[in-house]
Structure 1
């Protein structure tokens, strides 16, 4: 009959389950994999596979007593680190989601909403198009592999059982202002062009009040907005590279914080 001592069980729990909590927390919260499009069972299986793949390369883990309060503190710390890493990736995707919503409101497509299958909420169509585009670019440029590399490195820079600064979360909170600024920078040409169109309609209404500008202003603004978005797509790759590089560098800085 196989008998295991408390030390052996604690070593097994520390070497496998503690890293699993960090990996699973990040996969549950990060975009693409952490959305409703991927079932929780698939995410759990993927977490197990990643944990088994990187477990031989991880540094020595602390011995965990299953009925000790310290074990629950370490588990909570690993979950917080995983959520932190996943939330940093969410910032990159929300830049394009907010940018699409701003453009949709300016061109009159704010009422045209559809259910986002990833998050289960109603979003403007332009915002959903931008989200699909950034998802395809994220996967095509192998950014997900960079994320998994940073996740593996985090076990050396933020070891299990080590200290974790609360200032890391303050850095994420300060980064929220970057999301809005980046979204405005992304759609600034389109918003400026639509503003000029609206000002032109205002001048026409003032110059010729007998003309029913509102009857042609809405469809014309809608068509011009679609043309402006189509023209702006030519520069979307360069803008994505800038934002993705900054987001991934911030992710690596957060993983290296100590």
Structure 2
């Protein structure tokens, strides 16, 4: 008869639960696995499967009782680390969504919105279109596999129960949020500049010839030029996304190193 002691059961539970918390935090905050269309059962099952695969090669767990205040603190700590990693990838991918917002405002598509269940807000059609392309390109570049590789290596850089983290890393994470505006406006700048010139020219034309109203000429011209420029932009979108993904993954690696001090 096989007998299992409490110490053995506690060791197995600790070796599974704490890595599971970090992986779950990543799953909940990441833009791919954390999408609202993915059922909760699938998220939990995937997190459990990754934990079972990674657990045998992880560093030794700290000698801390699971049912204690220290054990509860480690659980919260692992959830925070995983959520921070997922937030980095969310900021990286939402950059293109901001690009769609900037372009849509200039093209006159601000009224073309619909409810987005993933964010719980109204989103422009153009933003949703670019965001879905970005997600597909991220999968095509094997970005999800690179994130999982960084997740596995994070247990070496940030062992469970380390207890000392550099708070400056979270300041880095907050500053990285500016990528949404800087990179987003950089991608949208050619279209925004061209459409701004068109709107300026139409404003001058409307003052010189009041019968040529903006509603008769301005909207069709902005939409037509915007669609043509979007076709040109799509030809170079893959190179921009490749640089954006590299930037996000490099920052994620630097964030983990900074968090470890």
Q: TM-score, normalised by structure 1?
A: 0.95
Report the equivalent of 1:252: 253
- Contact 2:92–2:179 (CA under 8 A) maintained in structure 1: no
> Does residue 1:178 correspond to 2:179, yes or no?
yes
Report the equivalent of 1:104: 104
Report the equivalent of 2:20: 20
Query: In 2, distance between residues paired with 1:126 and 1:215?
Result: 23
List per-residue Cα deviations over 1:139-182 (Å, max 9, x = no partner): 01100000000000000000000022222211110111122111
Report the equivalent of 1:149: 149
List per-residue Cα deviations over 1:92-151 (Å, max 9, x = no partner): 111011110111111100110022243343200000001111001000110000000000
**In structure 2, do the counterparts of structure 1 residues 87 and 23 end up closer, same or farther at CA, with 3 Å as the change threshold?**
same
- Contact 1:36–1:120 (CA under 8 A) maintained in structure 2: no
Report the equivalent of 1:48: 48
Report the equivalent of 2:229: 228
Alignment of 1:56-135 (within 5 A): 56-135=56-135
Query: In 2, distance between residues paired with 1:245 and 1:113?
Result: 31
List per-residue Cα deviations over 1:59-111 (Å, max 9, x = no partner): 11123313211000100100000000000000111101111011111110011
Q: Secondary structure at the match of 1:45?
A: helix
Query: In 1, distance between residues paired with 2:195 and 2:212?
Result: 21
- Contact 2:65–2:71 (CA under 8 A) maintained in structure 1: yes
Report the equivalent of 2:210: 209
- Contact 1:14–1:63 (CA under 8 A) maintained in structure 2: no
Give structure 1 stretches of 5+ with no counterpart.
none
Q: Secondary structure at the match of 1:123?
A: strand
Query: In 1, distance between residues paired with 2:137 and 2:239?
Result: 11
Q: Secondary structure at the match of 2:177?
A: helix
Query: In 2, distance between residues paired with 1:34 and 1:199?
Result: 42
CA RMSD of aligned residues (A): 1.5
Q: Secondary structure at the match of 1:122?
A: strand
Give structure 2 stretches of 5+ with no counterpart.
none
Q: TM-score, normalised by structure 2?
A: 0.94
Report the equivalent of 1:136: 136
Query: In 1, distance between residues paired with 2:171 and 2:4?
Result: 43
Q: Secondary structure at the match of 1:206?
A: helix
Query: In 2, distance between residues paired with 1:216 and 1:175?
Result: 41
Alignment of 1:152-171 (within 5 A): 152-162=152-162, 163-171=164-172
